[in-house]
Amino acid sequence: MNKYDNISRYIIGILLVLYIGSIAVFNIILPDKTFSELENRMLEQTPRFSLKHLINGKFTSNYEKYISDQFAFRDFWIGVKSESERSIGKKENNGVYLGKDGFLIEKFTPDIKRVKKNISSINSFAASTPNLNKYFMLVPNSVSILKDKLPVYADDENQLVYIDKVKKTLSNNIKFVDVYSTLYSKKDEYIFYKTDHHWTTKGAYYTYTKLIEEMGFIPHDEEDYEVKNITNSFYGSLYSKSGFRQINPDSIQLYIPKVDEEYNVKYYDKNEISNSFYNMDNINKKDKYTVFSGGNHSLIKIKTNVNNKKKLVVVKDSYANCFIPFLTGYYSEIYVVDLRYYTDDLSILIKSNEINDMLILYNVNFFCKDASINNIYK
């Protein structure tokens, strides 16, 4: 019996050595990748060596990240890990829940200090612009609206608490547009993607009707748009982040007004002008959501054929990318600012262009974490 035990140990040992050796060889001969299509992010590259970084531990830390990102057949092993965990009943991975009906839902983990700082910055900006009509829309995420899709053990912070906190502490000079009930009443419709952290264009449409009424305009009926399906193969950010596979892809729709609207779009960071807010080439990319405006930009100017001399500035995160086309029929000019990339003084932009109205649009998850919102007031 001992003889066969020894043989099996030798075989296992040899197989283990062969496996480790082959992986080491592949790690050496395979070229480094710069971008992961599956995870939709840039990958770590070989860190530069210096004695200083070695002593303070920065080099070893960066090298570990590099090895993790460039490990041979990394995408395959990520899939194996997530599927094995899924087979034993695990419903959460890397901050993403595997919910009912194939929904991937991002956890809500707010930074309380960040929320207070963001509100303070917005209130300071409001005080400095008393003559500007300001509207604030804080969009709840699927973790709040689609609570019935969450695993039974999911225990996240209540987004409604934070929405209410923002509403109560915002300056009286800002009109808070509460869209929670609007979205919740439509929760059985396709208002959030299953594999991505964004809302769908249909979700954006429903909140547009609420906002535009608050602004004193008349919203268009859904029948006033041609709803155009442009893809049925969209795998979004949560699919990439979670590692969960065997999930059905999403579809993306555009709401095209049946009455022709003419406008041109200037992207200041790329120094490009287009006659469309949609970048249809991006439907062939991994991140198909970038079909809306080609992704995020520091500053965009939309000049329309509306002759009312009304001007709007939208300060936003990526949730606004599919929302903004609904506004083009109401303003002669719309300026779109992303504070993650816009480094100039926002008040100067508003004053120099004689802008009348302002919309601040963020999703709750982003608003409760991101520091760039402080850039609104300088």
Tell me the C-alpha distance between 224 and 256, whole Å. Answer: 9
Phi/psi for 278 (5° steps) reads -110, 135
- Specify the DSSP class assigned to residue 186: T
The domain locations on the chain are 2-101, 107-376
- Alpha carbons within 13 angstroms on the beta-carbon side of residue 35 total 6
Confidence of residue 324 (pLDDT cuts 50, 70, 90): very high
Please write the tens of the pLDDT for every residue from 227-286: 999 999 999 999 988 888 889 999 999 999 998 888 999 999 999 999 999 999 999 988
Tell me the C-alpha distance between 353 and 357, whole Å. Answer: 11
Given a cut of 60, whether residue 29 has pLDDT beyond it is yes
Shortest CA distance to 205 belongs to which of 325, 337, 289? 325
Neighbours of 65 (CB within 10 A): 14
Tokens in use for 221? 């009926």
Is the distance from CB of 284 to CB of 252 less than 8 angstroms? no
Given a cut of 90, whether residue 12 has pLDDT beyond it is no
Grouping H, G, I as helix, E, B as strand and the rest as coil, residue 335 is: strand
Tell me the C-alpha distance between 169 and 123, whole Å. Answer: 9
The DSSP code sequence of 140-169 is --HHHHTGGGS-TT-----HHHHHHHHHHH
pTM reported for the whole predicted model: 0.83
Tell me the C-alpha distance between 129 and 184, whole Å. Answer: 33
The mean pLDDT value of the chain amounts to 88
Confidence of residue 13 (pLDDT cuts 50, 70, 90): confident
Tell me the C-alpha distance between 109 and 93, whole Å. Answer: 14
Tokens in use for 23? 């992986």
The DSSP code sequence of 37-74 is TTTTEEPP-PPPP-HHHHHTTHHHHHHHHHHHHH-TTH
Confidence of residue 127 (pLDDT cuts 50, 70, 90): very high
| pLDDT of the residue at 99 | 94
Grouping H, G, I as helix, E, B as strand and the rest as coil, residue 360 is: strand
